[in-house]
Amino acid sequence: MISTGTTTNEHNLARVARAVDQQEVRDVIYRYCRGIDRCDYDLVRSCYHPDATDDHGDFRGGVEDFIAYVQKGLLRFERTMHFIGNVLVEVDGDRARSESYIVAQHHLRASSTKPERDFVVGLRYVDDVERRHHEWRIAARVCVFEWSRIDPVASGGWVPADTATLGRRDTGDPVYAASIADWLR
């Protein structure tokens, strides 16, 4: 039986604080994906503590080297999109472990030797996240790869109307607008 009074209130406050911490950790993961997909490297950088490490399979190192790696690597792709599924965040004080299921799609233009294609990866981000100076950021990340494939892009697929808003890989994307109403004018 749960007792009433201060103990219950303290318990409820602790549950609310844990839920807030979990959401703040999720927001770090969501901002990271936005930063990658919009090529906003300052946003990506802001998701990591300065002394953090990242293991992306063919890269393992610190934040600044990771940013340089990403800047170079993303040049190969016309577009990228990260879809985030199951995100489990286990908070323990000022530390948390998060596991995020990701499907990342990378669109490659046709070249003289290869057709237009999509490189699709299923992976998990396993992160140690720490709260320092009242802010949650990634302290260490390992990408755990589950599968990947390369899909040819069939011709004759859906093409948006000339007036459709297409995603941009920079801060000109509508998500950065101060107001969508103003952006539409």
pTM assigned to the model: 0.90
Q: What is the mean pLDDT of residues 97-123?
A: 93
Show me where the domains of the chain are located: 6-156
Q: What is the mean pLDDT of residues 103-116?
A: 90
Strands 48-55 and 60-62: antiparallel
The structural architecture, per CATH, of the domain 6-156 is Roll (3.10)
Closest CA to 127 of 5, 17, 19, 33: 33
pLDDT tens per residue across span 17-60: 999 999 999 999 999 999 999 999 999 999 999 999 999 999 99
* pLDDT given for residue 43 in this prediction: 98
What are φ and ψ of residue 168, in 5° steps?
Answer: -120, 155
CA angle centred on 58, ends 33 and 90, rounded to 5°? 45
* pLDDT given for residue 112 in this prediction: 86
